[in-house]
Amino acid sequence: MNRSYEKTFSVEGGNFDNAGMASIEIKKILKDLQISDDVVRKAAIAVYESELNIISYARNGHITLYVTDDAVNVDVRDEGPGIEDIELAMKPGYSTATEQIRQMGFGAGMGLYNIKTCSDRFEISSTVGEGTHLSIKINRNGQ
């Protein structure tokens, strides 16, 4: 498979002021690549929720976007506390968010669930005390 585009973004944990900056840039890149609106929106939501998760919970992280002829792939890797019970964390409404996160309108317990809903393929792995890794794939030509 040819990787037609690839770029990695650094996200700093706890930097709430810039939350969403990487996502908005990624959305612009995808639009410039003339990817369909529906795919751009799904990718943008998945990246935005991922970015907010890094800022809210991890020390730092990286979001790598790579676009191929048939899919938009997003790889999210953070250094942080990790997730103890992934199944529970995936449940809509479950959240460990702090008051600061909730004041921004997040921490509703919809993040990982939203990412999964936007993805055609979604994989999550986590090591407690080390960090979390998400692998997201959104097909470019429908499902």
Q: Tokens for 47?
A: 């990246």
Over the range 33-70, which residues count as b (16 or more CB within 10 Å of their CB) and which as e?
eebeeebbebbbbbbbbbbbbbbbbbebbebebbbeee
Closer residue to another protein in complex, CB, 61/107: 107
The contact set with another protein (CB under 8 A) reads 17, 19-20, 23-24, 27, 37, 41, 44-45, 48-49, 92, 103-111, 113-114, 117
| Shortest reach from residue 1's CB to another protein, in Å | 27
Q: CB–CB of 139/120 below 8 Å?
A: yes
| Shortest reach from residue 72's CB to another protein, in Å | 14
Closer residue to another protein in complex, CB, 3/102: 102
Closer residue to another protein in complex, CB, 81/92: 92
